[in-house]
Every structure is written in C-alpha cells, then in structure tokens.
Amino acid sequence: MERNELLHYCIDKLKRAGAEKVECSVSFSEKKELNIDSGEMTLLRTTFNTSLGISVIKDQKKGSTSINKTDKGSIDQAVEQVIELAKASQPDEAFDIAEKQPTKSFSKGDETADLDSMYNRMEEFLGYVNSTYPTVNLEQAVLDFTYSRSYFQNSNGVNFDINKGMYGFYPGFLSKDGKDTSSMNGTFFSALNLDKPLHKYCSIDTLLKQSTEQIRTQQVQNKFVGDVVVTPDCVSDFLGFITTDISDGKMITGNSLFKDKLNEQITHPGLTLHSHPVSEEICDGYFVTDDGYIAENNTIIDKGVLKTHLLSLYGSRKLGKSRAVNDGDAYLVDPGSMSRDSIISGIDKGVLLARFSGGSPANNGDFSGVAKNSYYIEDGEIKYPISETMVSGNIREMFENMGEVSKDRVDFGYCIFPWISFKGLTVS
Amino acid sequence: MKHESLNQFKDSFTHYTELRAQENRNNRVTLTNGDVTGNVNAVTSGISARVYKDGNWGFSSNPEISDESITRAVKASTDNVQFMNKKDTSRCGIFLPETQANYEMDFTTPQNRQTQKHWVDYLRDIDGYIEKKYPELLSRNIVLGGLDMEKSLFTSDGSESYSMTPRALLYILLSIEKDGAPVSVMDVWGGLGQLEDKFSEPTEFYKEVDVLVEKLKKKANGVHPEAGTKDVILDADLAGILAHEAIGHTTEADFVMGGSVAGDYLNQQVASPLVTLIDYANTFDGNTCPVPVYVDDEGTQSDDVVIIENGILKSYMHNKDSARHFEMKPTGNARAYEFSDEPLIRMRNTAFVPGTSSLEEMIASIDDGYYLKRSSNGQADSTSEFMFGIGMGYEIKNGKIGQAIKDTTISGVAFDVLKTVDMVSSDMVWSAGGMCGKKQWIPVGMGGPAIKCKVNIGGR
C-alpha cells in the first residue's frame, strides 16, 4: 500500500466500523548511530522503524492504539482493537479532533546521513578530548542522524506530510585523577549538519573544561541564603517546572499554581519565554502539533506576564480555555543586557548552578536538590567547585525574585537559553 | 510470538552474532477525576542482529519479522562492523568470552484475559469509592498499566532462549488543598505478572485508599523537616533506590570502565559490616523476583552478583565485553528494552540483604530523626553522590513516630552513608514499579529491608 493510501484505508475502515472521528499518523524512520563507550568508538547502529498511530472517537468515547507494522493484516487487527478500546471507555464531551486546514508538506534537513563525516567528527572529538583534557573519561558519547517521513490525516480532512533529517549528539563524561573523581556531566545538541567540530557546539567545551576543575571539590561551609546563577544547561529544569504547571495534567486536576493567572504577572519582568517550533532560530522544532494543527510560534511569558497556558485540544475543551498554538518545547528566552561574567561579579555570596539533581517540586512549588558540577561564588568571583551542597526554595517565589538574564545565550538546536540569576535561595 | 526458528539463520553468521526477535505490548488506562483520559494500547515488535568482530560492534534492527528481514538485519549489522573495522584496526584479534545457555520461561497468566471494558470499570469502581468517601480531595489520578516483554534469542555461541516477562502496575495519586496550595501523595501496587494475576477485585483496594488518604491528610498538616545530617530509617522503598541508584550504577562494569568511583574500591571495606548488597538474577529466598532474568540478551546464564558482602566491595556486574576487559566471568546482566535496542549492562533485582533488627527497635533507637517511607524520584552519579526526593516520611522524636513531614530531599555520598548503617531490619519488601534509564528505559526490581543510617535532609 502507498503511504497516503495507507492512512486513507485506515480512516475509511474506521469510519465504516462506526467511528465518528478518526486521526491517523504513520512514520517511517532510519537512524544511523555511532557510539563511544568508555573512551572507545566501538559500535555502529542502523535501525529502521515504523510507527502507525490511530485514535478514534465513537459516541464521544476515545481509544488509541499504536503498532509498528503497516501490512493490511496488522492494520485490520489494530482497527478492530481501537474500536473495542473506544467502546470500553466513557463518554467525554471534551474529546475532539483538529478541524480542516489546508493540505501541506513540510521538510527540513538531509535525507541521508553522511556516515564518513559522522565517523570523522567522532574521531576528531575523541582526539580533542584526549589531548586537551587528558583527565576526562568519555563514559559514553552518541552521535546519530535520524531521517523520518511522517504523514498525518484525520477524518475532518487534515492531511500533512513531514520530512525531517536531524543530527543529534550526546556526550557524557567525568574527570578522574588518581582516586579522585568528578561528578558526571553531559549535554545534548541537535543540528542540521556537522559543519564544525563537535566540541564547538553548545556548551560542550565549557563543560569539559569545568569537569577537569571538579575533580576535587569542597562543601559549602555554612548554610546561607544567597544568589544562584543558573547556567543554560540547567535553566530548562526550572523553566520546566513552570511549563509543566501550565500544561494539561496539572491544569485539569487543579494542581497548577498558575491556573488562574493568565495575563497576570507570574515572574519578574525580566523574563520573556517563547516557544518557537517553526522559527529559523530553532533548528530542531516541529511543524505539526500532536493534535494535528499546524504549529505556530508563541510567547508564553512576556516580561513576566503569563500569556498562554499550554493546553491541548482536549485540555482546552475540558477547561473552557484557549488551546495553545503549539505543544511547547523549542523554548527560547530573550537575552538580557548583562554579560554572564558581569552577573557573577555582582554577587556577594552564591552558587553557579550548572546541574540540578532534584526532580519535580512539590505541588506547592517547594523544591530542594543537590547542586552538581557547580561552583561557590563569593565577592563576585567563582571560588571553588562544590559537592554535597543543596539548593532549596519555592519555584513561584524564585521566579518572582529573579535577578538578571544574561545577554550571552547557548544554542542547543532544540532550545536557546541564557544564564539567569535568582535571589534568596537557600544553600546548605 | 515465540520464534523457534532463529537458529536456521546461523549459516548467515560470519562472526560472533546475536539474533533477537522481540515484542513489547503496553496497555494503559488513566482516570483523571473520574474521566477516562487515557485508553491506549501499543505494540512494538521486530528483529535485531548484533555482530562483534575485532573489538567492534555492528547492530541493525527492523520492525518486520520475516526470513527476508532477518537476513537483511544480519547483513546490515555485519556491514556495520566491517565499516568500523576498516576505520580502526587497533583492537584486531580481541575475542569475547563464549557462553551458552538454553532456557525458556513464560510468565503468561493462566487466567482468562479480561477485556478493556473490565479494566475501565475496575478503575471507575476504585475512583467512585474515593470520590464518594473523600469529596474533600482536590484531584484523583488512577493509572493501570501492563507491559509484556517477549523475547526469543539465538547466538552464534549456541545459546537459545525464550522469555515472556510481564509487569502489571496500579498507581493512585491523590491531592488535597492546604492553605491555598495542593499537597499530594502517590502509591503503586503490582509487579511481576499480567493484570489478571495482580488485580482481581477493586474492593481489595478500598483499604489501601483509606490508608493513602490518611497519609495525605497527615502530610497536608505536616511540618518541614529540620535541615542537616540526621539519623534516619530508610524504609524498603528508599533502601531499594539507594541500592540501585547510588551503589548499583557505580558497580555496573561499563560505568567502572568509564571512571566510576567503585573502580578504586574492589575488595575494600566500603560499608558497615552489616551491609550485604546483591543483584539477584531471578530468585530471592526461594521466591521469584520482580524482574526475573534467566538468560540475558547476550545468551549468558544470569547469576546473582554479590556486590557488597559484609561491607566489602566484592564484584561488578558484567556483560561479555566488560568481563573480557576485567578478565572475569560474564554475569548475565546484558539487557535490551526494545527490539531496536542493543543490550547494555543493567541491574535485575538489586537489594540489601535483610539483617536481624525489627523496625520497632530501629525507631526506638532514634531520639531525633526521621522515618522515610516513600521516594518521589532519585538520582545518583559516578561518585555515588545521590539525591532522592521524599514524598512521605515522619519525624522520630524520643524513639517514637511523630508528625508527618512535607516533601523534601535527602542526599549524601552512598559509600559514606553505608558506613553509618548500624541497624538493618529482618524483613524484605520489593518495590512494585522500578524503571531505570540508561540510554534506554528498562524495568528493574529493587527493594530490601529498612536500614538505619545518617543522611543529609533538606529543610526549608
């Protein structure tokens, strides 16, 4: 079956089986992946995958299934099963599918991996790390290229096809000197091509250098309340607390701190946060939302004011609020006016927080966690790397007491973040 | 989807080769405040081949399972290893240790399978009970999920195995508003087996719900713990996470090769003599563990690994390649999550061995400390420094349980914390729903007795 025909077949069969509303998507992908393990590049993987997703609404009851086959027998079985799932459910007036939009094709990136180039970049990276940072142990590094062709259709006539080819690189490492070992650290970037050495992307070189400094650490001597400068690698953890709070799960259950705060000041006016899935600035964005709408860029927080919740079609109908024009992610924080170094030089006592091991905060916003790969700051200077140090506070209060946003930002390919300082956090 | 004919492809193997057919079946129902917000079934299956030659690996996978696709996967993985060998000949002549194991283990339920409607109604019954009895709650989330992992394996060493390992879990997450902000608690039940094995009547959970709501109300009126280094009792759930996250990962041989701190401690005293820590392959005290592994995904028989014995670090967990590197025996720890994943060194069922104390004695021995019952999350790194979120715990004052505490975090360096262990309870409790992330997700078992030790606890 041709790919477009395949989705037509699914929708037609589901409609004939009694479904009132149907959405189907199918994706075919090929991934090439080179792996470094324990400092040696020893594994090349080629994986093919297929994903067929089907959701139906029947009598306002919804069922969903996904399989990784596209032969007629498997599709027929999946259709039968998803109808049974829907029948087994309970009606909910909030279930719906996207309305008709113009048929459109989207495309980004190459169709095939340049495997020799990938190998050469990895070999170059290994050589660079070994010669520049001899105490660094590359515990694992993964460079991949994934090309996918995806098709989305629904029974309202939505019909999109999307081609995307993207490189991704994750290095994970620590430093070791004798019996002293640093904490592990790592980062990730996405890119359309590999036109420069891997260590020159995002924060990789900075983190490698810092890792060598973190072999021997000190504990912060006394508990204090001070400023915390959060690095671009770590800032997503804290922004994630807000974006999770304004999304379906917490909004629908009423557990969101910001459920009634639309168009109100929820952070310091220095913060402007966008989600730009279709911006030129974000190379690894997305074209279509999970609900089947053409994704648009939006501003989530404008000078501290909450401009939108991140509600899906279901969430918006359930709560009687507006649907977000995208699924979030592809985040971008507007730069401030000060350099990273100037922000640090203005701090009397605090921490440069480069990795936060802390998980989700409590529903009331209280959080605490360990400052990993981080530094103690005193009198405007980075003094020493720290360990066994906790940072705690409350997310809502933390963003209200935000200090400065740096003009320097790091581009990870899937997001762009600055350094942000926060006042009044407890360090112990 | 048992595949008994994988061995017919052995003539196409030109080097050391593993051939695996796998199907993962997921089923999940979610109720949010009584509405069915998730009603999903997902199946992924396919074939993978992994080839080793001269210190390099080639891997390939395909979602089709047919003679043609299997031949293609073997050829593609062989091509991949040849690509690597052309680029780098420095490990030429390295061979893996040979292992051979043949085993079949099928945990498919003997009971008739229930329909999706049965499970939706099952959850609605529990939800109805909660809604009626506790109208003051802010939110109710109930999730029922099943995962079946079915694998057939053939290797060029001659190993052949088949396993069907299911897991069924029920999560209940409740919240209440206190002083204008939500407070929540969560618990999970289930374990090895399919839904029919673990969940028969919804009424069986009414009492569990009552207990959970009581905990929620105590927590809502709870106090912030006092920050600092404190005597604590880590109940089985937290002891299990400590065993898995903070010690277990540092002793996975690939992490040791990557520089983990455990690499320097072999045969040294790293914990109190009361501490013995084992990664059980499949059986504890005559009973099947939550994630039983009999033959791993490299075709090696899975054996228990005694990581710490009476406080001394005794061994690491291995796959074939790390066993070659350390000149040890493979331990059967190589596991893959999806058909498209390569086997990695993974824990199976990691737990401290029970001691001789009773929980009551342990509580009575603390003047000012905490009894920590339930984790909300946990992370650790190569130094064994860890952080665990605490979702439920109590003060201990003058040898007695006091007020509940609000959400907090504990942290420490595990190899230091284990040196402070001075009591270990005599019971053993396995946690229901462990999942471990290390390039791939995979189900793991963890648990143990309660242990008494000193850790840093976060306050406000």
DSSP structure string for A70-118 = -SHHHHHHHHHHHHHHHHHS---TT---PPP---EEEEES-SS--HHHH
Which stretches within B62-161 are classed as H helix? 67-87, 116-133
Q: Which residues in chain A touch residue B261, judged by CB atoms under 8 angstroms apart?
A: 179, 181
pLDDT < 70 stretches in chain B: 459-460
Alpha-carbon gap, residue B394 to B457, rounded angstroms: 12
Instruction: Report the pLDDT value the prediction gives residue B459, as an integer from 0 to 100.
Output: 63
A359:B61 CB<8 A: no
Amino acid at B26: N
Instruction: Report the pLDDT value the prediction gives residue A359, as an integer from 0 to 100.
Output: 66
* Token pair for B15: 């080097």
pLDDT in tens, B287-335: 999 999 999 999 999 999 999 999 999 999 999 999 999 999 999 999 9
Do B255 and B244 form a contact (C-beta atoms < 8 A)? no
Residue A321 near chain B (CB below 8 Å): no
Of B328, B178, B187, B201, which is closest to residue B253 (Cα–Cα)? Answer: B328
Name, in order, each residue with C-beta under 8 angstroms of A46's C-beta and a sequence gap of 6 or more: A30, A31, A32, A33, B59, B60, B61, B76, B77, B80
Per DSSP, the three-state class of B245 is helix
Instruction: Report the pLDDT value the prediction gives residue B228, as an integer from 0 to 100.
Output: 86
CB pairs under 8 A between A and B: 238
Amino acid at B148: D
Q: Which residues in chain B touch residue A390, judged by CB atoms under 8 angstroms apart?
A: 227, 409, 411, 456, 458
* Token pair for B261: 């701190």
Instruction: Report the pLDDT value the prediction gives residue B62, as an integer from 0 to 100.
Output: 96
* Token pair for B301: 């028989």
Per DSSP, the three-state class of A12 is helix
* Token pair for A66: 């996904």
* CA terminus-to-terminus distance, chain B: 53
Chain B neighbours among A 26-55 (CB < 8 Å)? Answer: 37-50
Residue A297 near chain B (CB below 8 Å): no
Name, in order, each residue with C-beta under 8 angstroms of B117's C-beta and a sequence gap of 6 or more: A87, A88
B183:A362 CB<8 A: yes
**A53 has which bridge partners?**
A25, A66
Burial of B267 (0-12, 13-18, 19+ CB in 10 A): exposed
Nearest CA distance, A229 vs chain B (angstrom): 19
Residue given tokens 């594994």 in the structure block: A43
A390:B36 CB<8 A: no
Nearest CA distance, A334 vs chain B (angstrom): 30
Alpha-carbon gap, residue B218 to B392, rounded angstroms: 10
Per DSSP, the three-state class of B114 is coil
Give me the residue from B62, B81, B389 closest to A359, CB to CB: B389
A181:B383 CB<8 A: yes
Residue B69 near chain A (CB below 8 Å): no
Residue B145 near chain A (CB below 8 Å): no
Give me the residue from A46, A92, A363 closest to B184, CB to CB: A363
Instruction: Report the pLDDT value the prediction gives residue B460, as an integer from 0 to 100.
Output: 60
Q: Which residues in chain A touch residue B458, judged by CB atoms under 8 angstroms apart?
A: 368-369, 390, 392, 428
Long-range contacts of A185-188 (CB under 8 A, 24+ apart): A185/A210, A185/A211, A185/A214, A185/A354, A185/A355, A185/A372, A185/A373, A187/A233, A187/A412, A188/A412
Interface test with A, best of B226, B245, B320, B387 (most A CBs within 10 A): B387
Alpha-carbon gap, residue A2 to B10, rounded angstroms: 34
* Token pair for B171: 């999560």
DSSP code for B260: -
Instruction: Report the pLDDT value the prediction gives residue A62, as an integer from 0 to 100.
Output: 97
* Token pair for A101: 């939009």
CA angle A228-A229-A235, nearest 5°?
A: 110
* Chain region(s) in chain B for CATH 3.30.2290.10: 6-220
Give me the residue from A37, A40, A47 closest to B340, CB to CB: A47
| Alpha-carbon distances of B246 from B185, B251, B262, rounded to whole Å | 24, 9, 11
Task: Spell out the CATH class of A3-213.
Answer: alpha beta
Do A273 and A299 form a contact (C-beta atoms < 8 A)? yes
Alpha-carbon gap, residue A46 to B51, rounded angstroms: 12
Instruction: Report the pLDDT value the prediction gives residue B337, as an integer from 0 to 100.
Output: 98
β-strands B408-413, B385-397: how paired? antiparallel
B183:A47 CB<8 A: no
Chain A neighbours among B 281-320 (CB < 8 Å)? Answer: none
Alpha-carbon gap, residue A59 to A92, rounded angstroms: 9
B40:A90 CB<8 A: no
ipTM higher than threshold 0.90? yes
Residue B128 near chain A (CB below 8 Å): no
**DSSP of B64-75, one letter per residue?**
--SHHHHHHHHH
Instruction: Report the pLDDT value the prediction gives residue B381, as an integer from 0 to 100.
Output: 87
Of B153, B137, B124, B158, which is closest to residue B30 (Cα–Cα)? Answer: B124
Interface test with A, best of B382, B405, B439, B456 (most A CBs within 10 A): B382
How many CA atoms lie less than 13 Å away from B287 in the CB half-sphere?
8
Interface test with B, best of A173, A215, A255, A389 (most B CBs within 10 A): A255
The CATH number fitting domain B6-220, selected from 3.55.40.20, 2.60.120.10, 3.40.50.1220, 3.30.2290.10? 3.30.2290.10
Of B296, B260, B299, B298, which is closest to residue B381 (Cα–Cα)? Answer: B260
pLDDT < 50 stretches in chain A: none
Residue of A nearest to B92 (CA): A42
Burial of A2 (0-12, 13-18, 19+ CB in 10 A): exposed
